[in-house]
A and B are shown apart, each in its own frame.
Chain A
Amino acid sequence: MTSTPRPLIGFCAWAAASIPLFGAGALLVGIRPDLLSRWAEPRFLLEAGLVLCLAGSAVFAALALSVPDRRKPWLQVLPIAALICWTAVAAYMAASEVDAQPGAGLACLRNILALSLAPGALIYRALSKAAPFRSDLIGFLAGIGVSALGYLATRITCRNDDPLHVLLFHFLPVIAMSAAGAAIGRALFRRVSPKREMTAGFLDRGL
């Protein structure tokens, strides 16, 4: 029997497999022509930095929390803090733009979901082989990590930088996918965190 890889090794392995997948997906969709000029903008850099921090900390936290003796309080705090900062930035940018127009966004929804599928499958598979006792929390963290990277990949393909568009069709899907991630975690990780049937054992003894 081989042991579960240490969280850092697992994270590096997942990143090594997933980043090329995100990159290939973004190339397939089409990189925005003004990407180089956007990278020079502090606001864009701040957003990208926050999202990378969120994605990395969330996925690492999910992997670490799925090993019983690797629980550390900061593991849960860091991704939540990153999420709060990012939410504040996204909301501020949307609110400060007077003439914000969301425009069409279904393609962005589709792209974030499609770009996240394969890396999401990889991370959930890795987690299901560990000990994800906190199935909903670990599923949520994995979901937010993967969808945040999907968000970033979509930002380098979508030319619409209108803050309201970004909020509605980029940011909110990440939140929705994170909630879905918690539900996926509850379903997938049942092996380790089964809802004990109240009949098992109890009534057999009493009836």
Chain B
Amino acid sequence: MVSAQRGNRDAYAKFLSEVSVLLRGYVGRRINGADEVEDVLQEVLISLHLVRHTYVPGRPVGPWLYAIADHRIADSFRRARRMDKGKCELSDEVADSGGRHFHRDPRGEAIRHALTKLPQVQRRVIEMMKIEELPVREVAAHMGMSESLVKVTAFRGYETLRRILGVTKKSEQTT
């Protein structure tokens, strides 16, 4: 690490490849889902690169390394919590839009029309989750995606629907 700070690119590359192995295991023990583990690992490595100047030569590199990883893992958990909270009531309306009142309800018609404007993958994911009421696991298997990617895709789809329909989240509404 000291050599890397002095500009030795070979030493830096070797350092990164060695710590990647360590960090993959460290992150993998704390986060579920291979895709999410890889994403967080990439964030840790990027952060490590951005703040490599904060390592003080002579101090143990382990605490420094794992502190960076801990921050990124905590950020990942915060993101996951935000995603869960951000599932707007619109998702319930989408589910209702596939129900028996669908054709008579102007709102359902608007949602169905908005769904057609989504990118194909987002639309298909939302239809399977909310109209066909398939569990995330089955949607992931059908679409050939990881479960975390299904959730992210659905989240993005809800955001797009909200924008199309001009719906604001409860948290954004002023009292």
> In the complex the two chains form, is A67's CB within 8 Å of B156's CB?
no
> In the complex the two chains form, is B39's CB within 8 Å of A201's CB?
yes
Is B145 interfacial (CB 8 A cutoff)?
yes
> In the complex the two chains form, is A206's CB within 8 Å of B121's CB?
yes
Q: Which residues of B, 33-73, contact A by the 8 Å Cβ criterion?
A: 39, 42-43, 47, 50-57, 59-60, 63-65, 67-68, 71-72
Interface centre among A4, A133, A199, A207, by most chain B C-beta atoms within 10 angstroms, is A133
Q: Among A196, A198, A202, which residue has its beta carbon within 8 angstroms of that of B43?
A: A196
- Distance to closest chain A CB from B33 (angstroms): 12
A203–B52 Cα distance when bound, in Å, is: 30
| Known pairs A192-B51, A202-B153; A1 contacts B67 (CB<8 A) | no
> In the complex the two chains form, is A2's CB within 8 Å of B53's CB?
yes
> In the complex the two chains form, is B145's CB within 8 Å of A69's CB?
no
A6–B57 Cα distance when bound, in Å, is: 11
Q: Among B43, B47, B54, B152, which residue has its beta carbon within 8 angstroms of that of A130?
A: B54
Q: Among A3, A134, A191, which residue has its beta carbon within 8 angstroms of that of B55?
A: A3
A192–B43 Cα distance when bound, in Å, is: 10
| Known pairs A1-B7, A198-B152, A206-B121; A69 contacts B64 (CB<8 A) | yes
Chain B residues positioned under 8 Å from A71 (CB to CB): 67
A57–B160 Cα distance when bound, in Å, is: 45
Tally of A interface residues using CB under 8 Å:
27
- Distance to closest chain A CB from B35 (angstroms): 8
A6–B52 Cα distance when bound, in Å, is: 14
Chain A residues positioned under 8 Å from B47 (CB to CB): 131, 133, 192
Chain B residues positioned under 8 Å from A191 (CB to CB): 50
Chain B residues positioned under 8 Å from A206 (CB to CB): 121, 143, 145, 149, 152-153
A92–B141 Cα distance when bound, in Å, is: 63
Q: Among B42, B53, B56, B59, which residue has its beta carbon within 8 angstroms of that of A1?
A: B53
Chain A residues positioned under 8 Å from B71 (CB to CB): 68, 133-134, 193
| Known pairs A69-B64, A193-B75, A206-B153; A131 contacts B54 (CB<8 A) | yes
| B36 closest partner in A (C-beta) | A202
A130–B166 Cα distance when bound, in Å, is: 41
- Distance to closest chain A CB from B31 (angstroms): 14
Among all A-B residue pairs, the 4 with the closest Cβ atoms: A131-B51, A68-B67, A133-B71, A69-B64
8 additional A-B pairs beyond A192-B50, A203-B121, A206-B149, beta carbons within 8 Å, are: A1-B5, A1-B53, A4-B56, A69-B59, A131-B47, A133-B71, A202-B39, A206-B152
Q: Give me the interface of B with A, judged by CB distance under 8 Å.
A: 5-7, 39, 42-43, 47, 50-57, 59-60, 63-65, 67-68, 71-72, 75, 79, 119, 121, 143, 145, 149, 152-153, 155-156
